[in-house]
Structure 1
C-alpha cells in the first residue's frame, strides 16, 4: 500500500487533503506532459511520489540536462503556469546546479 493509502487508513484526512491531492496529481500530469513535449528530461520525487502528500505539500521535480539560461527561464515559466492553473506549488531543482552526490541523495 502506498503511503497515501496508509495515511488515509491511519487518520481521517480532511476533504481539503483529498482535494489538494487530486489537484496535485492533475498538476503533475500537466507539468509532466508539458516538459515531455519540450524535450526536457525530468523526474518526480518527494511526497507526491512516495504517497506522503498532504494539504500543505508541493510537487518536487528534478530537471536534468545542460540547459541554457534561456531554456531554464522557459522551464521556470512552465512551472509557474502550472502553479497558476492548479494552485499547487511545484518545487524544482536543476541537476546541473547540484553535485552528482546531491542529486543521488535527493532522489533516493
Structure 2
C-alpha cells in the first residue's frame, strides 16, 4: 500500500491491526517476500515519477491465480485516523497504537 499526500493509509482501512506472528511461525517464504519487495520498490519509483495509479489503494497479490495481475482495492481516508491525521500519533511514540509487524526474534545456532 502506498500513501501519497492526502490519500488513505493502511490504518484507515484496518483501524486495529491483528496480532502479527513471527515469520517462522507464519511460514513466510523468503522468495515471496523478495517478490513483493521488488513490486513495492517498482511502485514507489512509479510514484516518484508521477504515476498516482496506486496511491491510497491496497494491492492484493493472489499467487493461486498465477499470472493474474494484482487487484487494486480503493478506499477513502477515515476521519479521525490517528496515523494520517494532521498531527499523527506514531506507534513508536504512543503505546496505544501497536506497530503493524511483530518484533524480530533472533536466535543463535551453533
After TM superposition, is the score higher than 0.5?
Answer: no
TM-score range, shorter chain: 0.3 to 0.5
Q: TM-score, normalised by structure 2?
A: 0.32
Q: Counting helix residues as a fraction of each chain, which structure ranks higher? A: 1
Question: Which of the pair has the greater relative contact order for Cα pairs under 8 Å at 6+ separation?
Answer: 2
- Structure number with larger C-alpha Rg: 2
Q: Counting strand residues as a fraction of each chain, which structure ranks higher? A: 1
